[in-house]
Structure 1
């Protein structure tokens, strides 16, 4: 199963296939229309079991609303273009008013799919087709809950590693721009936005994993690992804010640097990048470089308008302080998902 999941298809694709197969099989066994149930099963597979359960409780009443509107419109107007329009528009409107947003798509699909072929016995068709929609929702929820509970550890680690690499690259690139007064070959602002997107995705996967653990067992070591990833993501996000401040400084008015300042800044940036990549034992940061930056920054604090050089020193020293104060990510207290 692991080989199949890794080499051929993803877990969500496999679960969609299983849900479609079981839904179609159940409907055929009871001689019920298959298409409504299969469509519902396809669109209701969610990333987590928690989402499937929560949204399933919304989707079924929303589908009932859509089916009711479709049957009434078909009874009054027949199978016409205006019937489809009224069914879709009213279903969306009522679901929106009732705050059934999670079930809006399924309800609308159910409504428009019920119109063709309905000529009489409207109440029977309503019960039959709503029942098949319920089968699709229930089957996809059970498959999502029981089959291959997702583990997001690999995705989280990959995104954190990519974010660390991107952060160190951008910090080095930006400081080279400011020190050498040369434009970087890449768009640093766009790359910074990509960095924040990676962190957003990593946070999303952490949230998905916590939601899964509401319904599946987990080990204390797994919770400790997840907490350490969350701390890393939080730190990287803080660092990304200070990187964005450096990137936002105007490049066309870069400060003049003496050789001693350039050497101190390059040394500090290199050691900061090493600290970002390595979360374990840290090598000490060059004391002379830190002392020079602190001295220069202190000497400018009485000015009415601080030069760009002072802003740069401040951001680098802040990044150093964040990395210095962070605690180990190896041993952290355990907690239940509800407490996070």
Structure 2
């Protein structure tokens, strides 16, 4: 399946006003300006085609049936972002009338296939493009993990090749290929149905993958971003940088979720603090910076067990306080989307 990957060389894009001295990859001076000297992307920008990306209109057409496009971000690794992305997908897709897509943008560390219980599946080609892997009739998943020869295969790619694959996930995947499932006409009369939500599970930081998603979706639109953090200050520091990235890239912040906020004993239901919020945690940060706080999710060892088994934690352990926290946060996300 890895033979399908035909990643193109794409220059690193930059959020608007992110660096006033950079001419930008679309400029005629890209790679040639004095300010380009010493930049690691100088040769890429200099040799790349100039002007607007001709694939952008194709991406807009391909994604016109997607109602909400949401990024799941975290400044630091290990805060549970992919866990949250997979469980958010399961919860949104628990209504069989709601179609949800999940794209694993973490090219070098694809964990979504395992967490969604579909790591042994493969992508197939049809007359309308690549077919995503369907976990359920209404839940579709796309990841480079489906294309690797073995589960232990390392993806050792530079930025341009990773960016090219992300473009293929948007341009070449038919997210509405299940014609029998789709309504012939939706209420708005566009596209005969489509996805209600398309989620992007991104790697930590603010690098190539994030810039590519922003660049490729700039005309079709991004509804907003959900940011994950843990209570301790070392994690909040990186989340502040992620919030700054959203500001510079013009991405609305749906809200911040504090993960691993205390430990709930599955037996006695008593909660203990594991990661002490020395500066007040995510709630205090959101209050200080003026961003929405969506809620906190306590630690429950069964969350990790569910992800290892590719199961919905909320459906498997509905009595857990963490399950209630997930459901409340999802309702807050839906409410925020309706108000945005």
Measured against the shorter chain, the TM-score band is under 0.3
Structure number having the greater strand percentage: 2
Structure number having the greater helix percentage: 1
What TM-score comes out, normalization by structure 2 length?
A: 0.27
Relative CO higher for 1 or 2, CA cutoff 8 Å, sep ≥ 6? 2
What TM-score comes out, normalization by structure 1 length?
A: 0.27
